[in-house]
Amino acid sequence: MSYPQTKVAIQHWHEMLKTQDMSILNELLADEVVFRSPVAFKPYTGKQVVFFILSNVIQVFENFTYHREFYTEDQQSAVLEFSANVGDKQLKGIDMIRFNEQGKIVEFEVMIRSLSGLQALGEQMGQRMAAFMPK
């Protein structure tokens, strides 16, 4: 099975980042989307929490740039290589994104290096998540 709508969805993703139009993100996320964070062991599930995480990461990252894109043979998944700053820390990473037949994101996993960049991101996002998910 081939997933030609994946490349269209990735174009929408890039447009969302360029325009900061979060309604595009809302359209791209499937209700059952799962997000795997580089700083949390347990995945986050559901459109509301994943929307919160991704829309906040966009605000935390500075000088965010995608460098390369890779697609699986069936084009159901894409891997996007990026770089960004969090404060004075630089980081590099990849977004691994899997789509369903409708071109909606069903899985989003992020891997980041270096440790100092990841720690800076974790600290910033931890503060935001604590406000979003009170105990």
What CATH number has the domain bearing residue 51?
A: 3.10.450.50
| Chain centroid, CA 110 distance in Å | 7
Give the pLDDT of residue 96.
97
Give the pLDDT of residue 76.
94
Instruction: Tell me if 130 is assigned to some domain.
Output: no
pLDDT by residue (tens digit) across 11-27?
A: 999 999 999 999 999 99
The parent domain of residue 32 ranges over 5-125
DSSP string, 66-122: EEEEEE-TTSSEEEEEEEEEETTEEEEEEEEEEE-TTS-EEEEEEEEE-HHHHHHHH
Tally of domains within the chain:
1
For residue 43, give the 3-state DSSP assignment: coil
Instruction: Tell me if 131 is assigned to some domain.
Output: no
More confident call, 2 vs 103:
103
Instruction: Tell me if 133 is assigned to some domain.
Output: no
